[in-house]
Structure 1
């Protein structure tokens, strides 16, 4: 019988939970006033690298997405140190943060579809 989850997918799920907790509770940088969501974590096959995709609900005027990613990537060493304490893994992966804009794209597509259906309804009534 085939396993439903591989080890790397279990580790990526656990990393997603732990990194979200670390960013929310342990990063004391006052520039992180926005809500940061970890949408996905992709771990390499040898578990030495992790790509962490983050999205933000609101971004401050002073802090752009690029600056936020730079700050998170600078804090990745500290996050990795805290992960060592929380996870019992032989190798804690190097973390690289990326912006995930799939929510914005999905929202835009949804708005366009709503506009099209509204135009179709109005054209059928005319």
Structure 2
């Protein structure tokens, strides 16, 4: 019988949950006082690397997305250290943060589809 979840996917879920808690509660940098959502974590098969995809609910005018990604990637060693204390794993993966703009793209597509359906409804009537 085949497993429904692999070990790496379970670890990815735990990493996603714990990294979100660490970013929201334990990072003291005032530039992280925005809502950061972790949309997905992809862990390599050997559990040595983790790609963390994040999105922001609202961006401050004085801090850009690139700057926040740079800050998070610089803090990844500290985040990894905190993960060592929380998770009972032999190997804690190296973390690399990436910006996930799929929500913005999806929202834009949804707005375009709504405009198209409104145009077709008004043109038929």
Superposed CA RMSD in Å reads 0.4
Unaligned runs of 5+ in 1: none
Q: How far is the alpha carbon of 1:31 from its aligned partner?
A: 0.7
Alignment of 1:3 onto 2:3? yes
TM-score normalised to the size of structure 2? 0.99
Hey, what does 1:94 align to over in structure 2?
94
Alignment of 1:84 onto 2:84? yes
- Aligned pair count reads 125
Give SS of 1:31's match.
Answer: helix
Give SS of 1:55's match.
Answer: strand
Alignment of 1:114 onto 2:114? yes
**Equivalent-residue separation in structure 2 for 1:77 and 1:40 (angstroms):** 19
TM-score normalised to the size of structure 1? 0.98
**Equivalent-residue separation in structure 1 for 2:52 and 2:12 (angstroms):** 9
Q: How far is the alpha carbon of 1:33 from its aligned partner?
A: 1.8
Q: How far does the alpha carbon of each residue in 1:54-93 deviate from its partner, in whole angstroms, 9 at most, with x for none?
A: 0001100011110000000010000000000000000100
**Equivalent-residue separation in structure 1 for 2:90 and 2:2 (angstroms):** 25
Which contiguous aligned blocks of 4+ residues in structure 1 show a shift greater than 4 angstroms?
none
Unaligned runs of 5+ in 2: none
Give SS of 1:47's match.
Answer: coil
Q: How far is the alpha carbon of 1:23 from its aligned partner?
A: 0.3
Hey, what does 2:72 align to over in structure 1?
72
Q: How far is the alpha carbon of 1:24 from its aligned partner?
A: 0.5
Q: How far is the alpha carbon of 1:34 from its aligned partner?
A: 1.1
